[in-house]
Amino acid sequence: MSLSSPSPTPSPSAPAGSARVAAVVRHAVAAGLLGEASPVAGFIDTDGVRASVAALHEAFPGAPAVLHTFAAKASSLVPVLRLLADCGMGCEVASPGELRLALDAGFAPSKIVLDSPAKTRDEIRRALAVGVAVNADNLDEVDRIASLRPADAVSAIGLRVNPQVGGGSIGAMSTATATSKFGVALFDPGARERVVRAFAAHPWLTRLHAHVGSQGCSLELIAAGIAETYRLAEEINETLGRRQVTGLDIGGGLPVNFADDEVRPSFAAYAAALRAAVPGLFDGRYELVTEFGRSLLAKNGFIGALVEYTKDAGGRRIALTHAGAQTATRTVFMPDAWPLRVGAFDAGGRPKDGPVVVQDIAGPCCFAGDVVAHARELPELRAGDYVVLYDTGAYYFSTPWSYNSLPRPAVYGFGLGGTSDGQDPVVRFAPVRDAQTLDSVSAESGLAHADALLGLGS
């Protein structure tokens, strides 16, 4: 589908540089992708995704062997994963479902890395049979892999360690604290020695993996964790007298700036921080694997939602919309850690102007805390208007929460081409995920077994 629409002038309610999003919103409303029948939808900027991937690759120009993987959990949508594969990315997966999606999306097994703290034997067998790389989370899992690994296995095998360098500003996103559930706690008594012995016992164990965390973690903290992992690799190889550790999976977790349109920190800044902290990381002795997710997609997507009603309560204006905790779960439950910018658009999908009013932007879920933005100064919203939640291209609409049995929203990719008459941008949409039907909601809720419980009991 392809239409043309003039690029609206950004209003005070929209962030700088939002003309591109505004054109897409207007076109989506005109095309019926947003409206009464489709009150909420997610949108992915395919040009933006390609540009972000290019920036990541450009940040590692001198590294001879780097596999950049995308963390599938950040957007578990097959068309998005296929776009990333087409851009030259690999894929990091953390469940049987994500592995299936990665394979269906067309990633070569050699470019897939399986991470998970609770892999079953069947999951490990499947991964080894397919030939994807596996990072063991703990030493017991190394033993499990040893018992399941066929002699002709081609999968690269690594061990995740926790460098215990501390946490960032969001505890739930920090994975290198003293008591993190992930990896072998490197500075616990005797842990380092046990890791070295595991590598000595298993020559096929050739990688180390570490991930410090994501949002709320500084570049300095991330670099410190990678430096500890690098030192461990050097120690293992020196102790064993052979170059057994040949690869370092340095994770991802680059934080995203949700305050404005600027991309910061950049992938180039990340690479510079690593070069300063761990100069030897880039000398070619170790193959590198990265696992970025949010930082590749967050700013390349947004949520659009219809304002169904507005009301006043206690002197506060409240806009009741169709974008709440079912799509913005983290923001609703941790608003200080995950604040989102909000744009106000009129019934035609054009940015609203006029005097600002302090308003809450609430969602459709049936609990009082379902508010995605508190006390925001925006042009007055009315029923039939639309709101846009910016920077939601990762996690938000791709992993919805089925609270209240709300259907999953449709997701569309978009691209802006040249202008059709010298002024109007050409906006093209492509379906990524269809909106969930009520029939599907009922089927997933056990409709086929509706009478199953009636015959049980006394």
Model confidence over 145-157: pLDDT tens digits? 999 999 999 999 9
* pLDDT value of position 179: 75
pLDDT attached to residue 421: 59
Instruction: Compute the Cα dihedral for 28, 31, 37, 43 and give only its sign.
Output: negative
Q: What fold does the segment set 62-292 form as a domain?
A: TIM Barrel (3.20.20)
Kind of pairing between the strands at 133-136 and 112-115: parallel
Q: What is the pLDDT of residue 408?
A: 97
- pLDDT at position 216 is 73
The helix (H) or strand (E) run that includes residue 339 is: none
DSSP 50-100: HHHHHHHHHT-TT-SSEEEEEEGGG---HHHHHHHHHTT-EEEE-SHHHHH
Predicted confidence at residue 176, as pLDDT, reads 67
For residue 12, what pLDDT is reported?
A: 39
* E strand residue ranges, 82-203: 90-93, 112-115, 133-136, 157-162, 184-185
Query: Tell me: the pLDDT tens digits for 308-345?
Result: 999 999 999 999 999 999 999 999 999 999 999 999 99
Comparing C-alpha atoms, which of 395, 277, 373, 394 is closest to residue 317? 373
SS3 432: strand
Instruction: Give the DSSP H or E segment for 104.
Output: helix 96-104
289 DSSP β-pair partners: 67, 249
Same fold, 2-45+299-443 and 62-292: no
Q: What is the CA radius of gyration of the chain?
A: 24
Query: Residue 229, CB half-sphere, CA atoms under 13 Å: how many?
Result: 33
Q: Which fold has domain 2-45+299-443?
A: Lyase, Ornithine Decarboxylase; Chain A, domain 1 (2.40.37)
∠ CA 270-274-280, rounded to 5°: 150
Spans of the chain below 70 pLDDT: 1-17, 63-64, 170, 173-174, 176, 418-424, 458
- Give domain limits for the chain: 2-45+299-443, 62-292
Closest-CA residue to 437 (of 42, 25, 38): 38
Reported pTM: 0.92
